[in-house]
């Protein structure tokens, strides 16, 4: 599997970029506010459902079990909506970066230490390959950790019977690269063409915001993310960041 080639696009002028960032900031603020307004009554509904469940459990009527099942069904839907709203708020908040000069090797290594217990539980081996002379980049460590987590969770879901994740860093021509490679089930062209679209998901109950959030974070760093995958042959995500 070869690293996907970057797509050449005309660079935006400073004025165009500032205008787009201002428009995005306004939309993100409105969307985030709306999500918060929905979360508040949803939390109240969830709390009242818990109280209703407690009341039903004290009843001694033939229909108690059936009523509890119905309430539990509504509780599951409320929890699902809560997860979607949380993912959406995370998606909407991406924009302002807390940049620091960092070495990608260190950030990736720290993440591997954090994620390894979960990988072990899923019977997934992690194999890092770091470029010893990797230049530093300007990056928001917390948001980059979010990128790694979202991609790693995708990999775990793609390998339900276990497998291998390789994380490789490299650099050339003023750009630092991180390749995340798995030997999972792969992705077909139809899904690959839409994987970064907001709310698109192939998973039952998925929010469809994990990979779009990853792309937004990478874009905010003026980086790129590409995917190379074939069904049955695994997947390679390549992320690039400009050198400081």
Task: Note whether 170 and 116 are same-domain residues.
Answer: yes
Residue 107 has pLDDT above 80, yes or no: yes
Rounded to a whole number of angstroms, the CA Rg of the chain reads 21
pLDDT at 8: 39
How far apart, in whole angstroms, are the C-alpha atoms of residue 180 and residue 218?
Answer: 14
- E-assigned strand segments in the chain: 100-102, 124-129, 137-139, 163-172, 175-182, 224-229, 235-242
**Structural domain of 83:** 14-93
Tell me the pLDDT tens digit for each residue of 181-212: 999 888 888 888 888 887 777 765 566 777 88
- CATH number, domain at 142? 3.30.565.10
Question: Three-state SS for 161?
Answer: coil
What are the structure tokens assigned to 92, written together?
């909407």
Q: Is residue 55 part of a domain?
A: yes
- CATH number, domain at 24? 1.10.287
Q: Is residue 7 part of a domain?
A: no
| Domain boundary, last residue among 93, 114, 135 | 93
Residue 103 has pLDDT above 90, yes or no: yes
| Count of beta carbons in the 10 Å neighbourhood of residue 15 | 8
Closest alpha carbon to 57 in 69, 47, 73: 69
| 57 backbone φψ class: left, alpha, beta (φ>0; ψ -120 to 50) | alpha
Task: Note whether 25 and 118 are same-domain residues.
Answer: no
Task: Note whether 124 and 233 are same-domain residues.
Answer: yes
The partner residues of 239 in beta bridges, in order of sequence, read 178, 225
How far apart, in whole angstroms, are the C-alpha atoms of residue 19 and residue 23?
Answer: 6
| Domain boundary, last residue among 93, 113, 135 | 93
pTM of the model: 0.66
What are the structure tokens assigned to 40, written together?
């508040």
- Which positions ≥6 away from 191 have C-beta within 8 Å? 202
How far apart, in whole angstroms, are the C-alpha atoms of residue 195 and residue 10?
Answer: 23
Task: Note whether 106 and 227 are same-domain residues.
Answer: yes
H or E stretch at 19: helix 14-58
Decide: 189 and 206 in contact? Cβ < 8 Å.
no
- What is the number of structural domains in the chain? 2
Decide: 137 and 176 in contact? Cβ < 8 Å.
yes
Q: How confident is residue 232, by pLDDT bands cut at 50, 70 and 90?
A: confident
Task: Note whether 118 and 79 are same-domain residues.
Answer: no
Task: Note whether 113 and 216 are same-domain residues.
Answer: yes
Residue 39 has pLDDT above 80, yes or no: no
């Amino acid at each position: 599997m070869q690293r996907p080639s970057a797509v050449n696009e005309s660079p935006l002028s400073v004025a165009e970029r500032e205008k787009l960032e201002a428009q995005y900031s306004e939309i993100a603020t409105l969307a985030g506010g709306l999500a918060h307004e929905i979360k508040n009554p949803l939390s109240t509904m969830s709390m009242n459902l818990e109280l209703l469940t407690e009341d039903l459990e004290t009843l001694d009527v033939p229909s108690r079990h059936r009523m509890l099942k119905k309430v539990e069904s509504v509780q599951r839907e409320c929890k699902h909506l809560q997860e979607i709203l949380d993912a959406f708020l995370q998606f909407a908040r991406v924009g302002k970066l807390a940049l620091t000069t960092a070495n990608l090797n260190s950030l990736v290594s720290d993440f591997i230490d954090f994620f390894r217990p979960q990988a072990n539980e899923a019977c997934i081996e992690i194999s890092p390959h770091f470029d010893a002379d990797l230049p530093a980049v300007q990056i928001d460590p917390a948001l980059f950790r979010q990128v790694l987590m979202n991609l790693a969770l995708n990999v775990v879901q793609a390998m339900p019977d276990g497998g291998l994740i390789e994380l490789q860093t490299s650099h050339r021509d003023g750009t630092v690269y991180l390749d995340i490679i798995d030997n999972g089930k792969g992705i077909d062209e139809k899904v690959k063409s839409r994987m970064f679209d907001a709310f698109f998901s192939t998973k039952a109950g998925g929010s469809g915001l994990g990979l779009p959030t990853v792309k937004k974070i990478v874009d905010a760093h003026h980086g790129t993310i590409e995917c190379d995958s074939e069904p049955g042959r695994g997947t390679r995500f390549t992320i690039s960041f400009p050198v400081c």
